[in-house]
Amino acid sequence: MLLSDLLPHTLREAPAEAEVPSHRLMIRAGLIRRHAAGIYSWLPIGLRVLRKAERIVREEMERIGAVELLMPCVQPAELWHESGRWQKYGPELLRMTDRREREFCFGPTHEEIITDLIRNVVSSHRQLPLTLFQIQTKFRDEVRPRFGIMRAREFLMKDAYSFHLDEDTLAETYTRMREAYERILERIGLDYRVVEADNGAIGGNSSHEFHVLADAGEDTIVYAPQGQYAANLELARAQAPEGERPAPGAELEHVPTPNARTIPEVAKLLKIPAERCVKTLIVQGSEAAAVALVLRGDHELNHIKAARLAEVASPLVLLDAEAVEALGGLKFGSIGPVGLEMPVIADRDAAILSDFCCGANKPGEHYIGVNWDRDVDEPAVADLRLAREGDTSPDGQGTLAFARGIEVGHVFELGTRYSEAMGAVAQDDHGAERPLSMGCYGFGVSRVVAAAIEQSHDKRGIIWPAAIAPFDILVVPVGHGRSADMLGAAERLHDELEQAGFEVVLDDRALRPGVMFKDAELLGIPHRLVLSERSLEQGMVEYRARTAESNEDIPRERIADFLRERMHPPE
Ligand code: ATP
Ligand code: MG
CB of residue 60 inside a 6 A radius of ligand 1? no
Task: Give the pLDDT mean for 404-413.
Answer: 96
Q: Which of 23, 209, 447, 449 to mutate to test the pocket of ligand 1 (most atoms within 8 A of CB)?
A: 447
Q: 162 vs 38, 130, 150, 225, CA distance in Å?
A: 30, 5, 27, 33
b/e map 174-190, b = 16+ CB within 10 Å: bebbbebbeebbebbeb
Nearest ligand 1 atom to the CA of 409 is 18
pLDDT band at 355 (very low <50, low <70, confident <90, very high): very high
Residue among 266, 497, 475 at smallest CA distance from 366: 266
pLDDT band at 198 (very low <50, low <70, confident <90, very high): low
Question: Which of the pair, 204 or 407, is modelled with greater confidence?
Answer: 407
CB of residue 155 inside a 6 A radius of ligand 1? yes
- Position 480 scores a pLDDT of 65
- Position 520 scores a pLDDT of 98
CB of residue 496 inside a 6 A radius of ligand 1? no
Please report, rounded to a whole number, the percentage of residues in the chain having pLDDT higher than 90. 89
Q: Whose CA is nearest to atom 6 of ligand 1?
A: 410
Percent helix, strand, coil in the chain (nearest 5)? 30, 30, 40
Q: Whose CA is nearest to atom 26 of ligand 1?
A: 151
Q: Residue 461 and residue 16: Cα distance in Å, rounded? A: 17
pLDDT band at 197 (very low <50, low <70, confident <90, very high): confident
- Position 200 scores a pLDDT of 53
pLDDT band at 169 (very low <50, low <70, confident <90, very high): very high
pLDDT in tens, 274-314: 999 999 999 999 999 999 999 999 999 999 999 999 999 98
CB of residue 407 inside a 6 A radius of ligand 1? yes
Question: How big is the chain by its Cα radius of gyration, in Å?
Answer: 30
Question: Which of the pair, 385 or 510, is modelled with greater confidence?
Answer: 385
Q: Whose CA is nearest to atom 21 of ligand 1?
A: 444
- Position 569 scores a pLDDT of 82
pLDDT in tens, 449-468: 999 999 999 999 999 999 99
- Position 417 scores a pLDDT of 92
- Position 192 scores a pLDDT of 95
CB of residue 442 inside a 6 A radius of ligand 1? yes
Q: Whose CA is nearest to atom 8 of ligand 1?
A: 407
Please report, rounded to a whole number, the percentage of residues in the chain having pLDDT higher than 70. 98
* H-assigned helices in 122-223: 167-188
pLDDT in tens, 465-514: 999 999 999 999 998 666 778 889 999 999 999 999 999 999 999 899 99
Kindly report the average pLDDT of the chain as a whole number: 95
Instruction: Name the closest ligand to CA 440.
Output: 1
Nearest ligand 1 atom to the CA of 209 is 18
Residue among 535, 518, 528 at smallest CA distance from 550: 528
Nearest ligand 1 atom to the CA of 157 is 16
pLDDT band at 121 (very low <50, low <70, confident <90, very high): very high
Question: Which of the pair, 269 or 570, is modelled with greater confidence?
Answer: 269
pLDDT band at 202 (very low <50, low <70, confident <90, very high): very low
pLDDT in tens, 127-158: 999 999 999 999 999 999 999 999 999 999 99
pLDDT band at 195 (very low <50, low <70, confident <90, very high): very high
- Position 203 scores a pLDDT of 45
pLDDT in tens, 538-558: 999 999 999 999 999 999 999
**pLDDT at residue 201 is higher than 60:** no
Instruction: Please give the helix or strand (H or E) that residue 97 lies within, else none.
Output: strand 94-97
Task: Give the pLDDT mean for 327-345.
Answer: 94
| HEC string for 532-570 | CHHHHHHCEEEEEECCCCCCEEEEHHHHHHHHHHHHCCC
Q: Which of 89, 94, 407, 448 to mutate to test the pocket of ligand 1 (most atoms within 8 A of CB)?
A: 407
Query: Which domains are present in the chain?
Result: 17-188+412-453 (3.30.930.10), 253-382 (3.90.960.10), 471-567 (3.40.50.800)
